Amino acid sequence: MQVSDALKTVWGRLLIPSIADLFFIALMAWLFMSGPFGWQGLLADGDAGWHIRTGEYILKTHSVPQTDLYSFSKPGAPWFAWEWLSDVLFAELCQWGGGLKGLVLMAAAVLTAVFTLLLRSMAWRGVTLWIALPVTLLGLGASSIHFLARPHIFTMLFLVISLWLIEADRRNPGPWIWSLVPLTILWTNLHGGFLVIIAVLGILVAGSAAESFLFRSRWASVGRYALLTAACAAATFVNPYGYHVHQHIIAYLRSDWIRNVIQEFQSPNFRNESMMQFEVLLFVGLLAATSFIRRRRLIEPLWILAFAHLSLSSQRHIPVFVAVTAPYIASELNRWWQQWTESATRKSLLGILSQMGRDLTPSLARSSVWAFVLVGALVFMDEPMKWPTDFPSLLFPTTLIQHNRERLLKGRLLTYDQWADYLIYRNPTEQKVFVDGRSDFFGQELGDEYIHMTQGHWDWERLLAKHGFDTVLASLDWPLTALLKQSRAWTVIEDDGKAVLFVRQAR
């Protein structure tokens, strides 16, 4: 039986791997099962620590926190755990996996699924393999700085799904588009990036109205998508904090202080490989936007230009730019490819490549069981996988913290915000910190004082005294570290080459 005949049977479709399956398996192996960072790389951000412990608190108390759980600088202050459902999922996965295995496996599977779905969505749009694959890989490279076990992975996943649903409805309106409403409810409780879908739909309405007005298109779609936008916007209020979540997120995103001091909110630096890949996508995207406008299509260029602006303002939005625009960039590149190859003879190199692309592309549009088999096998596999038992020691002073646990618990501690996240993970009910990764909670006043101290500004001694610090777990690259080593008021307890633990001498 030939493969084409076998694919007509249920078992054939289930068991014969597609190119999309092989892509998923290859990505999982390349990014996480091997390589210098692997599973550990997903834990490079300490925020996962307090997300896990917040989830455990919710599971234990059957309520979402209303006030701060972790700091001595703002005890009892109002706090929104606005990604509470992700926190619960993270905690459940850690309990199920007996540690961090479940969390990193889930994060890896979601990230791999995002780019596999992106590839498949391009094939569904008729994009040849020779275009879809490199555009997907460029998007993957550009987004790789955000490959972390954090709630934002759900925004990446839901955005790819949402854009596919929207495009399917634009081609053939049907009831499936309304599944965006319950998806938005789930999204709202998993990650604050849910506002992106409202922006996407708002641009869709505006672009549809502009096309209808300028080019005498049908107005029916404008009302349909306006109603969908309103329904999804209403769905975002289905969360434990109601409209307060919206107020909080908008204030967070509008904060000049956040944009100035938090690296992921700053503009991209085009001096590394991932940003160069983003630059290629950005350049081609602008060309594609121009081409769309020439063909009297306004929605796609509005999406490209809007999210290009966001990604240039903040590198945090680069994965959003990729998820929204990559399929349309690929579609336009595919149109140019077809124009270039249509006159090629079947026996020419260009003709052969074109025909191979047409033959192989349908295999991108289906999936078999093998991606699920791989993830299922990893669930039960301990060896030779090097599952993380702790956060990466290259980034966190894990051994020093273990050696000095009691001292860190008893002291009034100043430390790097990422290490504070890790301390919350290691000592969830006992550890209190000055600041941690929740920059939205601590705000500008405490944030500036933290920066002044760690950077050794003129008022560092006054601020240490103001907050009563008697213990400092300092990074070697802090200016404060050199100042404390020279001060007679502070004693070095341990120096592991990455961090230095100081205690204030008794007076």
Q: Mean pLDDT, to the nearest integer, of 374-392?
A: 87
In this predicted structure, what is the pLDDT of residue 255?
Answer: 80
CA dihedral 15, 17, 21, 26 (to 10 degrees): 120
The C-alpha atoms of residue 229 and residue 224 are separated, in whole angstroms, by: 9
367 and 403 co-located in one domain? no
Name which residue leads in pLDDT, 367 or 35.
Answer: 367
Residue 364 lies in a domain: yes
Residue 274, domain extent? 20-377
3-state secondary structure of 494: strand
The C-alpha atoms of residue 187 and residue 85 are separated, in whole angstroms, by: 9
The pLDDT of residue 3 is above 60 = no
In this predicted structure, what is the pLDDT of residue 35?
Answer: 67
The pLDDT of residue 304 is above 90 = yes
Angle 428-413-468 from CA coordinates, rounded to 5°: 130
In this predicted structure, what is the pLDDT of residue 1?
Answer: 47
The C-alpha atoms of residue 388 and residue 368 are separated, in whole angstroms, by: 29
The pLDDT of residue 263 is above 80 = no
The C-alpha atoms of residue 119 and residue 127 are separated, in whole angstroms, by: 9
158 and 306 co-located in one domain? yes
Count of the separate structural domains present in the chain: 2
Residue 114 lies in a domain: yes
Cross-strand partners of 266: none
Q: Mean pLDDT, to the nearest integer, of 349-358?
A: 80
In this predicted structure, what is the pLDDT of residue 7?
Answer: 60
The C-alpha atoms of residue 47 and residue 188 are separated, in whole angstroms, by: 19
Mean pLDDT of the residues in the chain: 90
Classify residue 475 by its DSSP letter: E
Residue 426 lies in a domain: yes
Q: What is the pLDDT of residues 452-494, one digit of tens each?
A: 999 999 999 999 999 999 999 999 999 999 999 999 999 999 9
CA dihedral 336, 337, 338, 343 (to 10 degrees): 110
The pLDDT of residue 383 is above 90 = no
Angle 450-456-457 from CA coordinates, rounded to 5°: 85
Residue 390 lies in a domain: no
Tokens 């080593």 appear where? 485
44 and 106 co-located in one domain? yes
The pLDDT of residue 5 is above 70 = no
Q: What is the pLDDT of residues 47-106, one digit of tens each?
A: 999 999 999 999 999 999 999 999 999 988 999 899 999 999 999 999 987 789 999 999
Tokens 């955000």 appear where? 146
Whether residue 144 contacts residue 183, with contact meaning beta carbons closer than 8 Å, is answered with no
293 and 403 co-located in one domain? no
Q: Which of 355, 360, 366 is nearest to 7 (CA)?
A: 366
Whether the model clears a pTM of 0.85, i.e. scores above it, the answer is yes
Whether residue 198 contacts residue 232, with contact meaning beta carbons closer than 8 Å, is answered with yes
Q: Mean pLDDT, to the nearest integer, of 249-254?
A: 84
Q: What percent of the chain has pLDDT over 90?
A: 69
In this predicted structure, what is the pLDDT of residue 105?
Answer: 95
159 and 269 co-located in one domain? yes
Residue 393 lies in a domain: no
The pLDDT of residue 129 is above 80 = yes
Name which residue leads in pLDDT, 164 or 213.
Answer: 164
Bridging pattern class, strands 499-504 and 490-495: antiparallel
Max mean pLDDT among 94-103, 232-241, 366-375 falls in 232-241
Q: How confident is the model at residue 36 (pLDDT cuts 50, 70, 90)?
A: low
311 and 418 co-located in one domain? no
Residue 293 lies in a domain: yes
In this predicted structure, what is the pLDDT of residue 89?
Answer: 97
Q: Mean pLDDT, to the nearest integer, of 203-210?
A: 94
H or E element at residue 267: none
Q: Mean pLDDT, to the nearest integer, of 224-249?
A: 94
The C-alpha atoms of residue 411 and residue 420 are separated, in whole angstroms, by: 13
How would DSSP label each residue in 141-188?
A: HHHGGG-SSSTHHHHHHHHHHHHHHHHHHHHS--GGGGGHHHHHHHHH
Residue 385 lies in a domain: no
In this predicted structure, what is the pLDDT of residue 180?
Answer: 97
In this predicted structure, what is the pLDDT of residue 6?
Answer: 60
- How is residue 152 written in tokens? 């934002």
